[in-house]
Structure 1
Amino acid sequence: MKNNQQSQSSIVATIKVFNSPIKNLVNLVTILVFFACGLTCGVVVSFYAKSLPWSLRGVDGGGGAARLNLAPPREERLVGLKELLMAPLGAAHNLSDEELLWRASMSPRIEEMPFRRVPKVAFMFLARGALPMAPLWEMFFRGNAGLFSVYVHSDPSYNETEPPESVFHGRRIPSKGVEWGKANMIEAERRLLANALLDFSNERFILLSEACIPLFNFSTIYSHVMNSNETFIEVYDLPGPVGRGRYSAQMSPIIKLKDWRKGSQWFEMDRRLALEVISDKTYFPLFQSYCTGPCYSDEHYLPTLMNIKLGQGNSNRTLTWVDWAKGGPHPTKFNRNDVTVDFLHKLRNGSTCEYNGEKTTMCHLFARKFTPHALSRLLILAPKLMQFNGY
């Protein structure tokens, strides 16, 4: 019996001897696991803390509490109203015609501008390629920066570049092909107007051709159009085959024969009227569809539109002198030998008309159709006669 008790005691003692290291090992492993987890969490938190806009500072001297310090916010560039309304630096963009006309048709309902604005005249050139009269226009514009804008619509195949110092440099708008007498001529005019309307400073809009010349200096023309109470779009009723005879009954009932008018393609208009022209979705589609063949859209669209809904405040005359005396579909061309002092005087003061309700002989501010061969004589005579700035 005694021997059995001694044997059991030996077994228990042996188990205790072996059990003690195992328990210590388990405790050690547990501690190592917790330590590893803590170390891992610390590394992860430290890594992500670097990307947060705050940092933990040390214990302050007051009560020993940790303090959360927020980093200063980034300074964002604030955009003012002038910058929001600023016209594109160049004439190039990738807007479609639909997008361009939509963007240009936006107009503030409050007429008074909340900032000082110097009104400008937009000179819009409708050309096939180069502008042969460009050297004369350079003289005309010189010294008048900030009072005008230039836009050029030329055939897409034309890819020459004007010198950087030229007023025409970078002023070609995205253009499409134009055919004489077709509706795409009006599309080009609307394209020019829409691009010019993107600049809120443009107040008056003048359409010119590559064969046009100015008849007065810049300050005279600027004052004349800016101070005018009227726009200058030629509108008249002409019976016969080249007037009413071009009307298509398919335009009825929106456009009736009694509404049909004719006039010069070369116009001057204000911003209000320009917005109406580019926004027109009632009358222009009819010209696109039915003014074909012997019907020339550029001679009838604007005059008819003015007669129907926009005629109030229009002078019914053009500011561009043209000679149709020889008849035919095209006006007279003028070469070098035609350019004389007397001839230019006649263009400047050879007519009588009304301006702001008073009689005047200054009826035309521009003239056409001058060939490239006339340029050399114009460069000699025009600057002094017209008193260009600096000449």
Structure 2
Amino acid sequence: MKQQEQRTSISTVNLLKDQLRLGGLLSNFLLLGFGFAFGIIASCYLMNNNNIPFKSQVTGQFPTTTTTTTTTSPPASTIFTVTPQLGPPVITTTDHDHDQSQAKLPQSISPPAPVVTPPEQSINGSILKDDDDAMHEMNDKELLWRASMVPRIDNNKGAPKLAFLFLTRGPLPLAPLWEKFFKGHDHGLYSIYVHCSDPFFKESVPPQPGSVFYGRRIPSKEVRWGGFSMVEAERRLLANALLDLSNQRFVLLSESCIPLFNFSTIYSYIINSTKTFVGAHDIPGPFGRGRYNRRMKPLIHLNQWRKGSQWFEMDRQLGIDIVSDRTFFPMFRRYCKASCIADEHYLPTLVSMRYPHKNSNRSLTWVEWSRGGAHPTKFTRTDVTFHLLNRLRSGSKCEYNGNTTNLCHLFARKFSPTTLDRLLRFAPKLMTFNHQ
């Protein structure tokens, strides 16, 4: 009886072992099948998606291939001279060894060869041409990213363009003068961009089709004069202008600025310059070194701190470095506040530290400080005379491409709206707008 019970127990144990082995085999088969199926599915997915290009996380657009071609640089050592005459003056160039004591103020310079239409560019998934509206749907982050990725040289075979960047409070009261300045010149030689400090500003008489300012207003944000938002607005203007690969030089202006010479003179002076024009000075006292924040060390030391006018002129390489800056920009945004006046120190300090030999260390825009005060002189209607304009045009000495010249300032400010009628009367004759 006991033997029979033992046999029964052994049989039961053996049956349980057999069931466990069978369950293990089934589990192994299931896992093997699942792994095999997953491998097939993954392989098919990778094969089907093998040719899809990387998609930008910033723009959501597929990247495009950009080719660049090195262009021939314009003459770099032009010296301007002019002989007094009744008609349009004739400009000549001389060697460096020529006696410069006879050099006089230039009035007109022949523009470069005929322009080839600039290439189209892909912006925000669409094709942007020179005559398109400057408005777009990019935010600042995407705009600056795109501008930081553009070529540093022009791939267009035509003439380089000069970009006029207007940073305004609202309207452009002196627009009729600028219309005369640009009249008769091909759009292939210049571009215009307007940033308004009040993004909701609506002009009572907006620019009409045919105006050089029509459609040239860019997406703007509120700007507080003296605040860091000024630097952000300058970078916004630069970024928009950099997207046009033909733009090679960039000049910042305000709504109160006027040109002191005709278009041909200003274009040739800037395009042929071997240096940029950013004022950068080491100034003691509360309005210079006194604005330095010691927390900027070790990136910026006190003896590297510079001050200058915000009204700059720069080339494409410096413009790209400004919109790409991830070192000085956050430092100034954090520590240059309130009375620091960031727009008077950010660019001068950066340029003097990174490009000391490339910069002329002066501004092309005349600002009158002789009357004293915290703000420059604002010219009114009765101030505008032939004598004033001639003084602004030729009252200084400076260096240009290694030579001394009295052609130092190409623009001037601050001119109130009441000066327009006199400017329209005097400036075209003095600057030979009608004889270009």
Tell me the TM-score normalized by structure 1. Answer: 0.77
For residue 361 of structure 1, report the CA deviation from its aligned partner. 0.4
For residue 390 of structure 1, report the CA deviation from its aligned partner. 5.2
Q: Deviations over 1:217-243 (max 9, x none)?
A: 000000000111111000110011000
Q: Could you tell me which residue of structure 2 aligns to residue 83 of structure 1? A: 120
Residue type of the alignment partner of 2:164:
F
For residue 196 of structure 1, report the CA deviation from its aligned partner. 0.3
Q: 1:215 aligns with which of 260, 277, 290?
A: 260
Question: In structure 2, how many angstroms separate the alpha carbons of the residues matched to 1:132 and 1:112?
Answer: 33
Whether the 8 Å CA contact 1:215–1:366 is kept in 2: the answer is yes
Q: Deviations over 1:106-146 (max 9, x none)?
A: 1337x573x51221100000001101110000000001122
Question: In structure 2, how many angstroms separate the alpha carbons of the residues matched to 1:357 and 1:386?
Answer: 25
Question: In structure 2, how many angstroms separate the alpha carbons of the residues matched to 1:313 and 1:376?
Answer: 39
Q: Does 1:253 align with 2:290?
A: no
Q: Could you tell me which residue of structure 2 aligns to residue 6 of structure 1? A: none
Residue type of the alignment partner of 1:241:
P
Q: Could you tell me which residue of structure 2 aligns to residue 315 of structure 1? A: 360
Question: In structure 2, how many angstroms separate the alpha carbons of the residues matched to 1:233 and 1:87?
Answer: 30
Q: Could you tell me which residue of structure 1 aligns to residue 194 of structure 2? A: 152
Q: Could you tell me which residue of structure 2 aligns to residue 120 of structure 1? A: 161
Whether the 8 Å CA contact 1:264–1:318 is kept in 2: the answer is yes
Whether the 8 Å CA contact 1:87–1:198 is kept in 2: the answer is no
Secondary structure at 1:153 match in 2: strand
Q: Does 1:95 align with 2:138?
A: yes
Q: Could you tell me which residue of structure 2 aligns to residue 30 of structure 1? A: none
Residue type of the alignment partner of 2:382:
N
Which region of structure 1 is more displaced relative to structure 2, 320-329 or 166-175?
320-329
For these two proteins, the number of residue pairs brought into alignment is: 311
Question: In structure 1, how many angstroms separate the alpha carbons of the residues matched to 2:121 and 2:239?
Answer: 18
Secondary structure at 1:123 match in 2: strand
Secondary structure at 2:433 match in 1: coil
Q: Could you tell me which residue of structure 2 aligns to residue 287 of structure 1? A: 332
Question: In structure 2, how many angstroms separate the alpha carbons of the residues matched to 1:196 and 1:101?
Answer: 11
Whether the 8 Å CA contact 2:278–2:362 is kept in 1: the answer is yes
Question: In structure 2, how many angstroms separate the alpha carbons of the residues matched to 1:135 and 1:390?
Answer: 18
Sequence identity of aligned pairs in percent?
Answer: 60
For residue 84 of structure 1, report the CA deviation from its aligned partner. 4.1
Residue type of the alignment partner of 1:345:
N
Q: Could you tell me which residue of structure 1 aligns to residue 312 of structure 2? A: 267
Question: In structure 1, how many angstroms separate the alpha carbons of the residues matched to 2:343 and 2:358?
Answer: 21
Question: In structure 1, how many angstroms separate the alpha carbons of the residues matched to 2:422 and 2:371?
Answer: 24
Q: Could you tell me which residue of structure 1 aligns to residue 411 of structure 2? A: 366
Whether the 8 Å CA contact 1:143–1:389 is kept in 2: the answer is no
Residue type of the alignment partner of 2:185:
N
Q: Deviations over 1:250-281 (max 9, x none)?
A: 11111111110000010100001100111101
For residue 364 of structure 1, report the CA deviation from its aligned partner. 0.2
Tell me the TM-score normalized by structure 2. Answer: 0.69
Q: Could you tell me which residue of structure 2 aligns to residue 48 of structure 1? A: none
Question: In structure 2, how many angstroms separate the alpha carbons of the residues matched to 1:351 and 1:312?
Answer: 22
Q: 1:350 aligns with which of 388, 395, 398?
A: 395
For residue 165 of structure 1, report the CA deviation from its aligned partner. 1.7
Question: In structure 2, how many angstroms separate the alpha carbons of the residues matched to 1:106 and 1:118?
Answer: 22
For residue 80 of structure 1, report the CA deviation from its aligned partner. 11
Question: In structure 2, how many angstroms separate the alpha carbons of the residues matched to 1:309 and 1:107?
Answer: 20
Q: 1:105 aligns with which of 130, 145, 148?
A: 148
For residue 87 of structure 1, report the CA deviation from its aligned partner. 4.5
Aligned pairs (5 A) from 1:166-315: 166-315=211-360
Q: Deviations over 1:23-80 (max 9, x none)?
A: xxxxxxxxxxxxxxxxxxxxxxxxxxxxxxxxxxxxxxxxxxxxxxxxxxxxxxxx99
Question: In structure 2, how many angstroms separate the alpha carbons of the residues matched to 1:313 and 1:389?
Answer: 35
Unaligned runs of 5+ in 1: 1-78
Question: In structure 2, how many angstroms separate the alpha carbons of the residues matched to 1:198 and 1:209?
Answer: 21
Question: In structure 1, how many angstroms separate the alpha carbons of the residues matched to 2:302 and 2:253?
Answer: 29
Q: Could you tell me which residue of structure 2 aligns to residue 141 of structure 1? A: 182
Q: Could you tell me which residue of structure 1 aligns to residue 382 of structure 2? A: 337
For residue 288 of structure 1, report the CA deviation from its aligned partner. 1.0
Question: In structure 2, how many angstroms separate the alpha carbons of the residues matched to 1:83 and 1:284?
Answer: 31
Residue type of the alignment partner of 1:149:
S
Whether the 8 Å CA contact 2:150–2:245 is kept in 1: the answer is no
Q: Deviations over 1:315-362 (max 9, x none)?
A: 000000001122222100001110010111100001111110111000
Residue type of the alignment partner of 1:83:
E
Rg comparison, structure with higher value: 1
Whether the 8 Å CA contact 1:353–1:363 is kept in 2: the answer is yes
Alignment CA distance shift 1:215-1:240 (3 Å): same
Secondary structure at 1:294 match in 2: helix
Whether the 8 Å CA contact 1:217–1:389 is kept in 2: the answer is no
Question: In structure 1, how many angstroms separate the alpha carbons of the residues matched to 2:138 and 2:154?
Answer: 29
Secondary structure at 2:338 match in 1: coil
Unaligned runs of 5+ in 2: 1-64, 68-118
Q: Could you tell me which residue of structure 1 aligns to residue 173 of structure 2? A: 132
Residue type of the alignment partner of 1:369:
K
Q: Deviations over 1:360-385 (max 9, x none)?
A: 00000000000000110000000010
Whether the 8 Å CA contact 2:121–2:244 is kept in 1: the answer is no
Secondary structure at 1:287 match in 2: helix
